[in-house]
């Protein structure tokens, strides 16, 4: 049994906190994305999202980001944009300029892929604004 299988088996233990379950499922889903196993990745990311839905947590931002990327690869553009926008909204709510910038960058990549260059440019500009904001906060 490999480490991933052992981890998935371990998730069935009731005492494990939801946040840890969601984080593991997110990490596993993103690993599957790197292996181009998008349909299976989507399953794990959706389960992770269900666990953390309606919570303000940076892990949920990553889950939305991952769902957006997977849907982009599956050419589900509307779904990809939906999750990209959810990542932006939650990152703004949490005042996390790095995640806002990253989500706008992802949004720009999706809209570039669909040849909506004006929208993509706007997203890239927003990403730069928030990247600069994060840089200012760091100093």
Note the pLDDT tens digit of each residue in 4-58: 665 666 556 555 688 888 999 999 999 999 999 999 999 999 999 999 988 888 9
CA dihedral 5, 79, 100, 33 (to 10 degrees): 30
Q: How far is CA 65 from the centre of its chain?
A: 2
CA distances from 77 to 12, 22, 24, 100 (A): 34, 25, 26, 20
Q: How far is CA 85 from the centre of its chain?
A: 10
Count how many domains the chain has.
Answer: 1
CATH of the domain at 68: 1.25.40.10
- Tokens 């995640």 sit on residue: 99
Mean per-residue pLDDT, 106-110: 95
Top mean-pLDDT range of 11-20, 47-56, 104-113, 124-133 = 104-113
Helix (H) / strand (E) element for 3: namely: helix 3-10
Q: State the first-to-last Cα distance of the chain, in angstroms, to the nearest integer.
A: 47
Q: What is the pLDDT of residue 99?
A: 93
Q: What is the pLDDT of residue 1?
A: 42
pTM: 0.83
Q: SS3 of 53, please?
A: coil
Instruction: Inform me whether the pLDDT recorded for 69 exceeds 90.
Output: yes
| Residue 67, domain extent | 3-138
């Amino acid at each position: 049994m490999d480490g991933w299988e052992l981890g998935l088996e371990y998730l069935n233990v009731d005492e494990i906190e939801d946040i840890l379950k969601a984080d593991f499922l997110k990490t596993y889903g993103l690993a599957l994305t790197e292996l181009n196993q998008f349909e299976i990745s989507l399953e794990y990311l959706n389960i992770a999202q269900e666990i953390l839905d309606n919570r303000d947590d940076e892990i949920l931002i990553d889950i939305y980001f991952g769902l957006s990327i997977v849907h982009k690869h599956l050419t589900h553009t509307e779904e990809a944009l939906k999750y990209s926008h959810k990542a932006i909204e939650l990152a703004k709510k949490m005042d996390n300029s790095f995640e806002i910038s990253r989500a706008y960058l992802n949004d720009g990549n999706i809209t570039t892929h669909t040849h909506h260059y004006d929208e993509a440019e706007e997203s890239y500009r927003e990403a730069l604004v928030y990247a600069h904001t994060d840089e200012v906060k760091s100093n």
